[in-house]
Amino acid sequence: MNAHVVEPANEHRVGELNAVNFTNFNSPEHLILGIGNESRQDDGIGWAFIDYLETRPACAHATLDRRYQLLVEDAEVISHFKRVLIVDASQEAHVDTVSLVRIAPKLDTSFTSHAVSPESILATCVQCFAVQPELWFLTIKGYEWQFGHGLSAQAQMNFQMVLDWVSA
């Protein structure tokens, strides 16, 4: 499995995806946020993950939600939770299949009206609300981004790795 977990400011591989127990996200104090657009093939991975969780007891106690993209307003949303997992598709070359990263707060230049990084969301949360939830970012490699429903075969294989993690 090419999945890995990375701690903040630590860009080397530190273990398999299952190094973090998914049941750690099963609490009313936790938020799982799927990012994407189900009408753009693999961009729908984050929403597909939330769809999956809504039909399973794996995180029956967590708050589940969907967004098309992260917005600065999400800093207020995450301020109400102790632990947050953001799930999104990735086109990044450094993501082979699946990557799970613990996010450290950092204001950065990604701050626009159309895209805000998880690091900036967390930094804004700390700055505006004086709280710092534990924030994790799960990215699943995607390959097809055209209009259409359903995941590509390659993305579906990567998505299955994440479902296996949830079920472990």
- Does residue 52 have a pLDDT over 90? yes
d(CA 130, CA 86): 20
How would residue 115 be classed by pLDDT, with cut points 50, 70 and 90? confident
Question: Which pTM was predicted?
Answer: 0.88
Flag the least confident range among 40-54, 93-107, 108-122.
108-122
Closest CA to 16 of 2, 30, 27: 2
pLDDT at 11: 33
- Does residue 1 have a pLDDT over 50? no
d(CA 45, CA 9): 26
- Does residue 8 have a pLDDT over 90? no
Task: Find the mean pLDDT for residues 50-68.
Answer: 94
> Is residue 138 a contact partner of residue 90, using CB atoms and an 8 Å limit?
no
Pick 158 or 21 by higher pLDDT. 158
pLDDT at 145: 95
d(CA 92, CA 150): 20
pLDDT at 9: 40
d(CA 80, CA 74): 10
d(CA 64, CA 59): 9
- 127-149 per-position pLDDT tens digit: 999 999 999 999 999 999 999 99
> Tokens 């029956």 sit at which residue?
60
Closest CA to 133 of 82, 87, 85, 86: 82
Average pLDDT, the chain: 87
Structure tokens at 87: 């799930």
Pairing assessment for the beta strands 4-6 and 134-141 based on DSSP bridges: unpaired
d(CA 19, CA 158): 17
